[in-house]
């Protein structure tokens, strides 16, 4: 009997090794831990994917790195936690992660009833369809009676259902609880169509399809999918920090501050630049950060435009045009409230 | 105080202590949960069941109207669970009995083959078998355009097995034939690859266990019975049917009940291959509404009821057999 | 007319054996010929697919050229590390490898020669394995439990689950046999409740609800939560196994202990339970084998043990995705080897499970 009792020791060790997270004063916990625990996807090119050496790359990843740089001072102090679509909200709610930066769409239900807060929009996306070219489908209207592979736990299911009813297409969803299983089914030919956010479709086409030329993405966008980082409710300080780091990156692009010229810009003549970089005013005090928070964030990952180009645009294999993700001044939707 | 009275008092104290500790633990649990839910702004209650479900279920026996509430979606999930579990029970019984009897055969090859089957399928996890069946059905079958046909009425392809279904139309019985329409099949009945994978996986796995139960049951019938049957001049098959089988059946029933219960519970693995059974639908509901406590307790409650119903049914069946 | 008689001892070398076992009568002879024909046809095709036409080099192009006419074992050659060890960092692969070998060796030893002294070895092994996998001590880099995967995770979950479930199961079994009605009711309700629900629902409970049950500010990692779910599930089934053992221990043992003046807990600890566990040993071993198979279900809550690691390794790689069947066969072989060997080893104890008491 004592032997069996001793066997509990390994369990206790396992418990000790698991991350004990704090839900509540997240900012204090992050500062004390000197590390940000960031929830990302299990592998979506362009947003959050790890290479064979375990380095994480992507838009969502860069946002986390910027927050780490701003709060802790080092963009490398991030613990990456890959999550699938079902676990992501539970992980955030339970305190296992500090923030969720995982191409998550901002919807009313999620904002209001899951105990979470969306901090802002880093990418304006929409849902689309991908089909094999040999099926000769060129528009979503032609998908009548089709079986469509989707992943469960996402807004995709509901949008598909709404669109199917609105257009009277009687589409039949084939639902998988894992991203990998849904891809496997589509590429094996189980469904003629696959649906998810259009940018994810582009990433899938590039990285997951054996022969990208065999598939095409249909032009219709059937929903609005504004993606952004998510934090827990009831933690206003952390909410403010995450929100304003993102806005600082956007404002940096507007003001022309880049990763390369951030140091030189500290001597700029533009008072807005001096304010953002913490030279003339200490904006960080009200956020409970030090004055160089925005400077460090920009130095770590660059401004919003650089982040975009590196991960999704001309500097990546996806080569997606910015489209709605241009700055408001250039005709897009990316807008930051003034940092003053 | 007499020793018996002392013992009674001690027993009472122990029981009160146990109940008190449990009650305290439960109170702490409930209070923590309520506090956590409040802090996260997640409402409680089963009212979400009447809200419109944000998803369709592609594979369902009963037609669900657009925007139907969550309780209807969960009902469809339950029907799907039964739709795969009940045929699986029947097929398992047939295949398992055949295998079990095969293991008792005089023929060495048959014995070995059945034995090899049982040892192979018992030692591989069920989830792995389900995934393998699903892969075989979706990867190795042809796409719908090149479906294998039996006549004009039966199609077998990656989209499943489509077959004609008798319907009443205009007061007459007609066969509703499946036909290609757009990118899918309309008309007739369809068994999706998800359904087939779950069915085949469950049957082949559970039959291996059932075979062992049957074998143990037949082996447990005393040798004297078989010898007596031989003395009476019955052939082997006559002895089997009239003497051994009824006695073996009585011994097989209780473990068979356990295996049927296991089968019903194992059908919950359908979530891994994309078959929309109860657990799968409840999981989607949980993700869309955030009501974790309600959804998980609903799943457990329904399975408890299914287990209870099956036990009662088998018990009644056993009593009826005893009367014969 | 056939009288049921014991099979003649002669083996397949004697003609009598052949006649008795393969060609006893017309029907059976026909059956034998049919089975032989089917076996020849089936085995030759399997042989051809698996060995002759198969591709063994990790060459994706050559594999595709086969077009399923032959097996592509190159996928195992290419991906076996990821399949066996999951997402563990590549440079530190020797650590999960050592841990796995250690656990398998100790498991073999336990099933072949179970001794009470092995318990100390298990505790030591557990400490060594957890240190190897987790790191942070002795200069090993820290690798969090979320990166553990594949075969080591399967073994850790099964062993940890069994280790945790056994004490709880013993308590529940004792509770169910208790004379105190309240205790009996509590134990029975727990056992019947947990045995009536599928494992998946308990894993959901552990995954989604456990964080709610814990006080604000306390958290548990995924591995710990899933382990708790497995333990809660296995304990109910183990309780029934142990209860069977307890029932098999003769009542005279309890009476003799009472005559010696031993109290309830002393009786259980020193007299009843050792005998009960000894009697229940084969059934306990079977429960462990079942637990190994049940750990594959944790894939549903995104813990990437052997089955999940295969999915991760192949799904994300477009070149190798069509060759899942070879991957499934590979890990099926691993599971089969482990479970079959353990069940064969446990068979030896079924004959030894004679009552120690008269």
Task: Tell me whether 0.85 is exceeded by the ipTM.
Answer: yes
Considering CB atoms only, which of A11, A23, A87 is closest to C227?
A11
pLDDT over threshold 70, residue C279: yes
pLDDT of residue B184: 74
pLDDT of residue B173: 83
- Alpha-carbon span A101 to A92, nearest angstrom: 10
Whether A22 and C166 lie within 8 Å, measured CB to CB: no
Q: Do A188 and B276 touch (CB under 8 A)?
A: no
Output the pLDDT for position C5: 54
SS3 A221: coil
Alpha helix stretches (DSSP H) within chain A: 2-6, 8-17, 26-33, 59-71, 87-94, 108-113, 155-166, 179-187, 198-207, 236-255, 262-265, 271-276, 293-301, 304-311
Is the Cα torsion angle B255, B260, B261, B267 positive or negative in sign? Answer: positive
Nearest CA in chain A to C309: A180
Q: Is residue C9 very low, low, confident or very high in pLDDT (cuts 50, 70, 90)?
A: low
Report pLDDT for A24.
46
State the nearest Cα–Cα gap between B272 and chain A, in angstroms: 7
Query: At C20, is the pLDDT very low, low, confident or very high (cuts 50, 70, 90)?
Result: confident
Contact A329, A282 (CB under 8 A): no
* Burial class of residue C250 (count of CB atoms within 10 Å of its CB; 0-12, 13-18, 19+): middle
Mark yes or no for CB contact A158/B288 under 8 Å: yes
Number of residues in chain C: 358
| Least Cα separation, residue C135 to chain B (angstroms) | 31
Contact B107 C307 (CB under 8 A): no
* Domains within chain B, CATH numbers bracketed: 70-124+132-140+200-323 (1.10.3720.10)
Interface list for B 43-62 with C (CB within 8 A) = none
pLDDT at C67: 75
Distance from CA of A91 to the nearest CA of C (A): 9
Tell me whether residues A174 and B194 touch, CB distance under 8 A. yes
B181:A233 CB<8 A: no
> Is A188 touching B (CB cutoff 8 A)?
yes
pLDDT band at C332 (very low <50, low <70, confident <90, very high): very high
∠ CA C31-C34-C39, rounded to 5° = 120
Residues A259, A296: contact at Cβ < 8 Å?
no
pLDDT for A272 beyond 70: yes
Mean of all residue pLDDT scores within chain B: 87
pLDDT score, position C234: 96
- Facing residue for A10 by CB, picked from C160, C311, C315: C160
Secondary structure class of B316 (helix, strand, coil): helix
Inter-chain touch A13–C126, beta carbons under 8 Å:
yes
Helices B126-139/B193-220 angle, 10° precision: 140
C-alpha distance from B308 to closest chain C C-alpha (Å): 8
Number of A to C CB contacts under 8 A, please give it.
138
Domains of chain A: 18-124+227-330 (3.40.190.10), 127-223 (3.40.190.10)
**Contact across the interface for A147 and B183, Cβ inside 8 Å:** yes
Tell me the torsion sign for CA atoms A161, A166, A167, A170.
Answer: positive
pLDDT at A235: 87
| Mean residue pLDDT across chain A | 86
Distance of CA A132 to the CA centre of its chain: 27
Q: Which residues contact C191 (CB under 8 A, 6 or more apart)?
A: C172, C176, C236, C239, C240
Q: What is the mean pLDDT of residues C84-88?
A: 87
Contact yes or no for A20 and C122 at CB 8 A: no
Record: contact B274-A185, CB cut-off 8 A: yes
CA distance B279 to B302: 10
CA distance A124 to A325: 6
> Cβ of B20 under 8 Å from any chain C Cβ?
no
Average pLDDT, chain C: 86
Domain ranges of chain C: 73-350
Supply the pLDDT for residue A152: 80
pLDDT per residue over A25-78, tens digit each? 889 999 999 999 999 998 888 899 887 667 899 999 999 999 999 999 999 999
pLDDT attached to residue C217:
65
Looking at per-residue confidence, does B145 or A313 come out higher? A313
Whole-number pLDDT of residue A189: 87
Beta bridge partners of residue B185, listed in sequence order: B180
Quick check: B287 contacting C, CB < 8 Å? no
In the stretch 147-186 of chain B, residues with CB closer than 8 A to chain C read none
| Cα A37 to Cα A315: distance, rounded to the nearest angstrom | 27
> Which pLDDT belongs to residue C312?
82
DSSP 8-state assignment for residue C205: I
pLDDT, tens digit, 9 for 90 and up, residues A88-122:
888 888 788 999 999 999 988 888 878 889 999 99
Reading chain B (324 residues) residue by residue, the pLDDT tens digits are 678 888 888 888 888 988 899 999 999 999 988 888 877 777 788 888 888 777 777 777 766 666 788 899 899 999 999 999 999 999 999 999 999 989 988 888 889 999 999 999 999 999 999 999 999 888 888 887 788 887 777 888 888 888 888 888 777 888 888 887 777 777 778 888 999 999 999 999 999 999 999 998 888 888 888 888 888 888 877 887 788 888 888 888 888 999 999 999 999 999 888 899 999 999 888 887 878 899 999 999 999 999 999 989 988 888 887 765
Identify any residues that bridge with A57 across adjacent strands, giving them in sequence order: A49
The pLDDT > 70 percentage for chain B reads: 97
Write the residue in B66, B135, B182 that is nearest to A165 by C-beta.
Answer: B66
Nearest CB to A1 within list C208, C211, C273? C273
Whether C321 sits inside 8 A of A10 (CB atoms) is no
Rounded percentage of chain A residues whose pLDDT exceeds 70: 92
User: Are B264 and B85 within 8 A, CB to CB?
Assistant: yes
d(CA A97, nearest CA chain B) in Å:
15
- Residue-level pLDDT at A4: 47
Q: Show residues of chain C in contact with B263, CB under 8 Å.
A: none
Q: Evaluate whether A127 touches A198 at the Cβ level (below 8 Å).
A: yes
Q: How far apart are CA C86 and CA C298, in angstroms?
A: 14
Chains that touch C (3 or more CB pairs under 8 A): A, B
Torsion (CA) A173, A176, A181, A184 in degrees, nearest 10:
-10
3-state secondary structure of A54: coil
CA dihedral A108, A113, A117, A122 (to 10 degrees): -40
User: Are the C-beta atoms of residues B144 and B180 closer than 8 Å to each other?
Assistant: yes
Interval C268-274 mean pLDDT = 89
Q: What is the pLDDT of residues C132-151, one digit of tens each?
A: 888 888 888 888 887 888 99
Rounded to 5 degrees, φ, ψ at A49 are -150, 145
Helix axes C324-350, C281-294, angle to 10 degrees: 170
Please check the confidence at residue A16 and state whether its pLDDT lies above 70. no
Query: In CATH, which superfamily holds the domain spanning C73-350?
Result: MetI-like (1.10.3720.10)
> Which of B277-281, C210-214, C219-223 has the lowest average pLDDT?
C219-223
* Residue of B38, B55, B131 to mutate, interface with A, max A Cβ within 10 Å: B55
Tell how many helices (H) and how many strands (E) occur in chain A: 14, 14
> Which percentage of chain A shows pLDDT scores above 90?
46
Write out the H or E segment, with its range, that includes residue C246: helix C222-248
CA–CA dist A77, A79 (Å, integer) = 7
> What does the pLDDT average to over A251-257?
94
pLDDT at residue C85 greater than cutoff 60: yes
For residue B105, the model assigns a pLDDT of 84
Chain B residue with CA closest to A171: the answer is B58
User: Range with the lowest mean pLDDT among A33-37, A303-307, A315-319?
Assistant: A315-319
């Amino acid at each position: 009997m004592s032997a069996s009792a001793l066997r509990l020791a390994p369990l206790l060790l396992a418990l000790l090794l698991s991350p004990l997270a704090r839900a509540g004063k997240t900012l204090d916990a992050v500062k004390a831990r000197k590390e940000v625990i960031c929830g990302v996807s299990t592998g979506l090119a362009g947003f959050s994917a790890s290479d064979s050496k375990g380095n994480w790359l992507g838009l969502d990843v860069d946002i986390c790195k910027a927050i780490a740089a701003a709060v802790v001072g080092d963009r490398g102090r991030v613990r990456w936690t890959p999550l699938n679509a079902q676990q992501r909200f539970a992980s955030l709610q339970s305190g296992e992660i500090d923030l969720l930066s995982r191409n998550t769409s901002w919807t009313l239900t999620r904002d209001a009833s899951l105990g979470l807060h969306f901090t802002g929009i880093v990418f304006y996306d929409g849902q689309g369809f991908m089909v094999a070219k040999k099926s000769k489908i060129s528009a979503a209207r032609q998908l009548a009676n089709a079986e469509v592979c989707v992943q469960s736990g996402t807004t995709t299911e509901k949008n598909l259902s709404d669109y199917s009813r609105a257009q009277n297409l009687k589409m039949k969803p084939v639902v998988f609880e894992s991203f990998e299983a849904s891809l496997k089914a589509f590429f094996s030919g189980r469904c003629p169509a696959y649906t998810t956010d259009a940018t994810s479709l582009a990433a899938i086409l590039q990285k997951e399809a054996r022969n990208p030329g065999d598939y095409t993405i249909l032009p219709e966008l059937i929903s609005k999918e504004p993606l952004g980082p998510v934090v827990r409710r009831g933690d206003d300080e952390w909410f403010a920090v995450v929100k304003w780091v993102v806005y600082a990156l956007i404002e940096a692009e507007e003001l022309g501050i880049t990763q390369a010229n951030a140091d030189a810009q500290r001597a700029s003549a533009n008072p807005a630049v001096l304010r953002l970089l913490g030279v003339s005013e200490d904006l960080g005090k009200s956020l409970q950060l030090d004055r160089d928070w925005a400077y460090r964030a920009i130095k770590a990952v660059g401004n919003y435009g650089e982040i975009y180009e590196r991960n999704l645009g001309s500097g990546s294999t996806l080569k997606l045009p910015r489209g709605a993700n241009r700055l408001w001044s250039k005709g897009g939707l990316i807008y930051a409230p003034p940092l003053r | 105080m007499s020793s018996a009275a002392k013992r009674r008092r001690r027993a009472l104290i122990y029981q009160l202590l146990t109940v008190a500790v449990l009650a305290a633990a439960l109170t702490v649990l409930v209070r923590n949960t309520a506090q956590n839910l409040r802090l996260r702004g997640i409402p409680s209650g089963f009212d979400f069941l009447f809200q419109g479900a944000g998803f369709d279920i592609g594979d369902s026996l009963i037609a669900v109207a657009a925007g139907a509430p969550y309780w209807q979606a969960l009902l469809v999930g339950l029907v799907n669970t039964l739709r795969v579990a009940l045929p699986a029970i029947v097929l398992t019984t047939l295949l398992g009995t055949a295998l079990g009897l095969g293991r008792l055969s005089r023929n060495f090859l048959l014995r070995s083959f059945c034995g090899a089957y049982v040892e192979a399928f018992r030692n591989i996890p069920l989830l792995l078998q389900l995934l393998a069946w699903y892969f075989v059905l979706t990867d190795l079958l042809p796409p719908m355009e090149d479906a294998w046909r039996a006549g004009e009425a039966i199609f077998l392809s990656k989209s499943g097995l489509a077959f004609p279904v008798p319907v009443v139309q205009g007061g007459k019985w007609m066969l509703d034939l499946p036909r290609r329409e757009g990118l899918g099949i309309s008309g007739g009945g369809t068994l999706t690859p998800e359904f087939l994978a779950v069915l085949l996986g469950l049957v082949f796995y559970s039959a291996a266990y059932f075979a062992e139960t049957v074998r143990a049951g037949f082996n447990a019938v005393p040798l004297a019975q078989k010898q007596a049957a031989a003395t009476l001049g019955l052939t082997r098959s006559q002895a089997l049917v009239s003497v051994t089988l009824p006695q073996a059946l009585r011994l097989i029933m209780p473990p068979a009940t356990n295996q049927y219960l296991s089968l019903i519970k194992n059908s919950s693995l359908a979530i891994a291959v994309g078959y929309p059974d109860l657990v799968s639908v409840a999981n989607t509901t949980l993700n869309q509404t955030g009501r974790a406590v309600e959804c998980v307790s609903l799943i457990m409650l329904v399975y408890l009821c299914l287990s209870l119903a099956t036990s009662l049914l088998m018990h009644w069946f056993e009593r009826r057999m005893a009367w014969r | 007319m056939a009288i049921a008689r014991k099979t003649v001892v002669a083996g397949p070398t004697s003609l009598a054996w052949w006649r008795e076992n393969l060609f006893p009568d017309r029907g059976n002879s026909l059956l034998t010929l049919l089975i032989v024909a089917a076996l020849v046809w089936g085995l030759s095709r399997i042989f051809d697919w698996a060995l002759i036409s198969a591709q063994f080099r990790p060459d994706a192009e050559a594999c595709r050229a086969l077009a399923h006419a032959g097996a592509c074992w190159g996928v195992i050659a290419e991906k076996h590390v990821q399949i066996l060890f999951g997402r563990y960092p590549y440079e530190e692969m020797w650590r999960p490898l050592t841990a796995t070998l250690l656990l398998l060796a100790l498991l073999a030893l336990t099933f072949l020669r179970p001794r009470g002294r092995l318990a100390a070895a298990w505790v030591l092994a557990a400490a060594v394995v957890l240190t190897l996998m987790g790191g942070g001590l002795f200069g090993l880099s820290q690798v969090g439990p979320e990166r553990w995967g594949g075969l080591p995770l399967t073994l850790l979950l099964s062993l940890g689950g069994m280790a945790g479930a056994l004490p709880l199961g013993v308590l529940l079994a004792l509770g169910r046999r208790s004379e105190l009605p309240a205790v009996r009711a509590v134990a029975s309700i727990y056992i019947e409740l947990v045995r009536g629900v599928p494992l998946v629902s308990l894993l959901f409970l552990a995954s989604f609800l456990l964080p709610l049950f814990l006080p604000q500010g306390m958290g548990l990692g995924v591995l710990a939560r899933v382990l708790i779910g497995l333990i809660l599930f296995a304990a109910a089934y183990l309780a029934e196994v142990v209860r069977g053992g307890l029932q098999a221990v003769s009542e005279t043992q309890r009476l003799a202990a009472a005559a010696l003046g031993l109290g309830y807990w002393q009786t259980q600890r020193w007299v009843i339970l050792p005998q009960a566990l000894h009697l229940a040993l084969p059934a306990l071993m079977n429960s462990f084998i079942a637990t190994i198979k049940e750990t594959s279900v944790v894939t549903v809550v995104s813990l990437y043990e052997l089955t999940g690691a295969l999915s991760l390794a192949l799904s994300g790689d477009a070149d190798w995705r069509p060759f899942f069947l070879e991957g499934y066969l590979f890990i099926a072989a691993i599971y089969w080897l482990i479970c079959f060997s353990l069940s064969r080893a446990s068979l030896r104890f079924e004959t030894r499970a004679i009552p120690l008491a008269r």
